[in-house]
Amino acid sequence: MSAVRGLDHGGLLVADAERARAFYVDALGLTEVPRPANFDFPGLWVEVGDQQLHIIGEAEAGRTRDVHPGWRADELARGYASHLALEVDDFDGYLARLRAHGVEIAGGPRDRGDGVKQAYVADPDGHVIEIMGA
């Protein structure tokens, strides 16, 4: 019987790959890694621990908005949305880094109830990112 070995990567469709690079690489501090040379569409790959996040630039203007219309502010504030979660070493220091890069903390910080703190941000296309740590 065949079994799943692990999660290799996730992918997010974005309207503007360069704007996404500024968010994921500059603000979040993720490391960009090379994509295959034969990829003929905009995008970037970043490392997230042992996995990767593939940022896929839209080929048709407005497609990202069609696929991902965004979240209501009250849902985002509670983390009640499809999201990715980034575990960080220094929760408060990481939130300070985000604020220094102009990233709004849309939800939290709050205690999850098991010793972990959570906060929520959204990328320029409305993809929700949970920041979590002790």
- The pLDDT confidence band at residue 68, using thresholds 50, 70 and 90, is confident
* pLDDT at 71 > cutoff 80: no
**pLDDT tens column, 28-63:** 999 999 999 999 999 999 999 999 999 999 988 998
Among candidates 51, 50, 66, which has minimal Cα distance to 13?
66
Provide the 8-state DSSP code for 30.
Answer: P
Which residue, chain included where needed, has tokens 């939130």?
A: 95
Cα distance between residue 70 and residue 64, in whole Å: 10
* pLDDT at 109 > cutoff 90: yes
For residue 55, what are the β-bridge partners? 12, 44
Tokens, residue 119: 């906060």
Tokens, residue 21: 């690079």
pLDDT of residue 110: 94
| pLDDT over 90 percentage in the chain | 78
pTM: 0.91
